[in-house]
A and B are shown apart, each in its own frame.
Chain A
Amino acid sequence: SQQGEEDPQALSIQEGENATMNCSYKTSINNLQWYRQNSGRGLVHLILIRSNEREKHSGRLRVTLDTSKKSSSLLITASRAADTASYFCATVLNRDDKIIFGKGTRLHILP
């Protein structure tokens, strides 16, 4: 089962532009995490935001969380070719602490 839904499913932007991905979820969470996956590889954790936080930064990444709307966004600023990957949001549910992933956004940075 998957709890999160990312939007858009795919995104192509020019190098240097900002990329924004959104995630919506359904049930109460303890925290929300974003992961990156390069083609054919394992997932790499990017950032974790807790349910009592509204915004978090890490380098070129900015994550927001709106628990009233059950949604989150990931902003990558000044994109680079190396940012080309799939990005997944994952929710940690309050009821059982499972980490449940969405279907992902495939980001392609054009040179």
Chain B
Amino acid sequence: DTGVSQDPRHKITKRGQNVTFRCDPISEHNRLYWYRQTLGQGPEFLTYFQNEAQLEKSRLLSDRFSAERPKGSFSTLEIQRTEQGDSAMYLCASSFNSRTEAFFGQGTRLTVV
């Protein structure tokens, strides 16, 4: 399967714990995006990368969120000291370059208890 894959698919964690999600984009894609989606809402932009360079991080994100894309391949999103408000679906997408369509993974559903 050469689509975008995300791991894990589901994560339940206790408040205050750190969590890390992984995204493997389509291999030849230079762009990688992270979004957060809550029930009944559209995907909310978190951050994006061009190869290994992080272009922007949403001003809505606290310093507890960090993302990396070492060597321009897979990406990780880490949330430190999780809060109940972090419960959401975290979506990763990749695209061949800027200004083309994005391909999404199935998402990681985070539940903070």
Interface residues, chain A, CB within 8 Å of chain B? 1-2, 4, 30-31, 33, 35, 41-45, 48, 88, 90, 92, 96-104, 106
B74 close to chain A: CB less than 8 A: no
B contact set with A: CB distance below 8 Å? 4, 33, 35, 40-45, 48, 55-56, 58, 60, 91, 93, 95, 98-107
By the criterion CB–CB under 8 Å, are A88 and B43 in contact?
yes
Which residues of chain B are near A33, meaning CB under 8 Å? Answer: 101-102
Residues of B within 8 A of A96 (CB): 55-56
Q: Is the pair A45, B102 in contact by a Cβ cutoff of 8 Å? A: yes
Known: A42-B106, A45-B103, A97-B98. 11 other contacts (CB 8 A): A1-B45, A31-B99, A41-B106, A42-B104, A42-B105, A43-B91, A98-B45, A98-B56, A99-B33, A101-B42, A106-B40
Whether the Cβ atoms of B104 and A43 lie closer than 8 Å is yes
| Contact of A103 with B99 at beta-carbon distance under 8 Å, contacts A42-B91, A43-B104 already known | no
| B56 engages A104 (CB within 8 Å) | no
Interface contact tally, CB-CB below 8 A:
60
Main secondary structure of the interface of B (DSSP, over half): loop
For the complex formed, measure the closest distance between the CB of A96 and the CB atoms of chain B, giving whole angstroms. 7
Q: Determine the chain B residues whose CB is within 8 A of the CB of A101 once the complex forms.
A: 35, 42-45
**What A residues does B40 contact at CB under 8 A?**
106
Contact A99 B102 (CB under 8 A): yes
Q: Select from chain B the residue with minimum beta-carbon distance to A41.
A: B106
**A2 x B42 contact (CB < 8 A):** yes
Contact, CB under 8 Å: B101 / A45: yes
Contact of A2 with B44 at beta-carbon distance under 8 Å, contacts A42-B106, A96-B56 already known: yes
Residue of B nearest to A29 (CB): B99
Chain B contacts of A2 at CB under 8 A?
A: 42, 44
